[in-house]
């Protein structure tokens, strides 16, 4: 029995059958192809042998119809090497394309498949998982099935994003994630920047004398030359950086020694120091990198806290000239140590992308996530406007609650009253910064909202609409993420 014969048979017996042509593959005496019946996806498997026996599904006459379960994803990983994530290393451009819904990766793949960039398709923080009621298994499953669906064989990454707790770090490694973003926020002492010099001196003197002498001998009266810049440190700077970042550096070394090195496989180790109240100065960036590398810790990328505002879902806020001046030095530091600069909350930061491309010479990592949710909301506004109206009003009522999770400067009063807009005008909200942030940070509340009987207020209708408009969603992502790719100079 051929795959075409099976598809014809299915189309005769089912209401709606969609075939994902790029998914077709022959391996281990079997033919595999992904299909969608109504809004449910399956893998059709024809043949015989171990693969046919291993994959789980309903046995039909001459073939199996297999659901997209975690167990079946593991079977694909066993027999189709390209469905496994890989470590992408520190060369070239990579882009994190977090998929909060488990539906965006096909559109992401179509966006980058002919570009000189590698995608990190599985990318979620613990915070995002808790707000969407998903697990790391769900995230990995969705990414791997998308790779199979699109027949993408160029390699993709999987990022345990913004992890702080060792239990979560071990979990991500055990599940096969190939990138670890270590969030050091809780280990960074932000209070030091506001302390007086006398208080800094007093606190510094509490450190062991041997530790103080070692760091002073390493940095005081020394020059550290970069390509076009020089790093120098007076005693106040040394004291401040030791107090601000000392515990964080110890945490980085601990995680590297306990989890990254013993893994015995490629793991892209990223350091995140970006979620702090004050920007990372070039001097502090160099200090952290030098301490890590002098202790044998190799990182693939580092995410400083750049000057200005990298708020969710909108463009860069701040002095672009000052950003360029300091970013140039951050890029020099990254080049000196051989890792990539990572730009977090990179969604929609169109004004800074040409600067990123220029000074990194195309060797960078940019993280996006929320913008993919917003493109999904745009589809809802176009295709199910009444659902969008309800979601919009609910988001307004619960905005204060959502702000507990994100830093935004949204002006709610500037958002036009939704009752004044027609159905056709609703997608325009996705072009307004304030409305974008409103919908961006309330995603978890919207997906979890239930009525008095425990039924979903929005989630079921939301996903049903997206499933029905799968190609439109992919096209929206191609257009929007494509703009990111273009401005980042990726050919």
Phi, psi of 269 (to 5 degrees): -100, 115
Residue 441 and residue 428: Cα distance in Å, rounded? Answer: 18
193 is an active site residue = no
* Nearest residue to 228 via CA among 332, 111, 313: 332
Strand order in the sheet with 58-60: 17-27, 30-37, 40-47, 63-67, 58-60
190 is an active site residue = no
Domain coordinates in residue numbering, the chain: 3-68, 371-482
Which helix or strand (DSSP H or E) is residue 163 part of?
strand 157-163
The pTM assigned to this predicted structure is 0.96
Specify the length of the chain in residues: 491
Residue 349 and residue 351: Cα distance in Å, rounded? Answer: 6
3-class SS of residue 125: strand
The tokens 């672009």 sit on which residue? Answer: 320
CA-CA distances (angstroms) from residue 212 to 61, 206, 232, 244?
Answer: 75, 10, 17, 14
Tokens of 210: 């041997």
Residue 220 and residue 199: Cα distance in Å, rounded? Answer: 20
Which residue among the candidates 141, 150, 159, 161 is catalytic per the annotation?
Answer: 161
The separation between CA 80 and the C-alpha centre of its own chain, rounded to angstroms, equals 24
* Nearest residue to 121 via CA among 129, 112, 133: 112
Residue 298 and residue 378: Cα distance in Å, rounded? Answer: 41
Which residue among the candidates 270, 274, 291, 348 is catalytic per the annotation?
Answer: 270
Three-state SS annotation for 196-209: CHHHHHHHHCCCCH
Task: Write out pLDDT tens, residues 51-87.
Answer: 999 999 999 999 999 999 999 999 999 999 999 999 9
Per-residue pLDDT of the chain (491 residues; tens, 9 = 90+): 899 999 999 999 888 999 999 999 999 999 999 999 999 999 999 999 999 999 999 999 999 999 999 999 999 999 999 999 999 999 899 999 989 999 999 999 999 999 999 999 999 999 889 989 999 999 999 999 999 999 999 999 999 999 999 999 999 999 999 999 999 999 999 999 999 999 999 999 999 999 999 999 999 989 999 999 999 999 999 999 999 999 999 999 999 999 999 998 999 999 999 999 889 999 999 999 999 999 999 999 999 999 999 998 999 999 999 999 999 999 999 999 999 999 999 999 999 999 999 999 999 999 998 899 999 999 999 999 999 999 999 999 999 999 988 889 999 999 999 999 999 999 999 999 999 999 999 999 999 999 999 999 999 999 999 999 999 999 999 999 999 999 999 99
The neighbour count for residue 68, using CB atoms within 10 Å, is: 19
Burial class (CB in 10 A: 0-12, 13-18, 19+), 58: exposed
* Nearest residue to 365 via CA among 122, 119, 171: 119
- Kindly provide the residue ranges of all beta strands, DSSP E only, lying in 333-380, ordered along the sequence: 340-343, 364-368
């Amino acid at each position: 029995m051929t795959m075409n014969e099976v598809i014809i048979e299915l189309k005769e017996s089912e209401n709606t059958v969609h075939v994902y042509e790029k998914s077709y593959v022959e391996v281990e005496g079997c033919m595999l192809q992904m299909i969608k019946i109504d809004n449910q996806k399956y893998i059709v498997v024809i043949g015989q042998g171990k693969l046919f026996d291993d994959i789980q599904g309903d046995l039909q006459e001459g073939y199996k119809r297999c659901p997209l379960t975690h167990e079946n994803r593991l079977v694909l990983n066993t027999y189709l090497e390209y469905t496994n994530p890989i470590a992408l290393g520190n060369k070239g451009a990579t882009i994190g394309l977090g998929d909060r819904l488990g539906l965006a990766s096909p559109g992401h793949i179509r966006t980058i498949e002919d570009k000189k960039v590698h995608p990190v398709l599985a990318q979620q923080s613990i915070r995002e998982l808790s707000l969407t009621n998903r697990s790391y298994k769900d995230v990995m499953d969705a990414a791997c099935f998308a790779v199979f669906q699109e027949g993408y064989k160029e390699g993709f990454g999987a990022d345990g994003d913004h992890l702080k707790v060792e239990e979560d770090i071990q979990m991500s490694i055990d599940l096969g994630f190939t990138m670890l973003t270590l969030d050091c926020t809780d280990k960074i002492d932000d209070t030091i920047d506001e302390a007086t010099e006398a208080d800094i001196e007093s606190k510094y003197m509490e450190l062991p004398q041997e530790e103080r002498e070692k760091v002073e001998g390493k940095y005081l009266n020394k020059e550290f030359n970069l390509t076009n810049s020089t790093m120098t440190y007076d005693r106040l700077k040394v004291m401040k950086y030791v107090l601000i970042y000392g515990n964080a550096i110890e945490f980085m070394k601990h995680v590297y020694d306990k989890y990254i090195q013993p893994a015995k496989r490629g793991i892209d180790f990223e350091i995140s120091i970006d979620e702090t109240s004050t920007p990372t100065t070039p001097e502090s960036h160099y200090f952290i990198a030098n301490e890590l590398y002098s202790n044998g810790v190799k990182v693939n990328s580092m995410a400083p806290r750049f000057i200005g505002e990298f708020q969710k879902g909108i463009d860069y806020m701040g002095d672009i000239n000052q950003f360029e001046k300091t970013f140039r030095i951050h890029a020099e530091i990254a080049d000196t140590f051989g890792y990539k600069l990572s730009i977090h909350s990179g969604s929609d930061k169109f004004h800074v992308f040409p600067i990123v491309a220029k000074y990194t010479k195309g060797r960078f990592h940019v993280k996006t996530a929320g913008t993919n949710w917003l493109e999904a909301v745009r589809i809802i506004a176009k295709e199910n406007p009444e659902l969008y109206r309800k979601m919009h009003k609910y988001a307004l009522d619960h905005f204060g609650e959502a702000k507990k999770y994100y830093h935004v400067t949204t002006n709610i009063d500037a958002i036009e009253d939704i009752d004044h807009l027609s159905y056709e005008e609703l997608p325009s909200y996705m072009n307004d910064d304030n409305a974008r942030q409103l919908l961006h940070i309330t995603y978890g509340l919207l997906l979890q909202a239930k009525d008095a009987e425990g039924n979903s207020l929005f989630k079921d209708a939301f996903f049903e609409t997206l499933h029905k408009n799968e190609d439109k969603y992919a096209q929206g992502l191609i257009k929007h993420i494509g703009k990111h790719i273009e401005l980042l100079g990726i050919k």
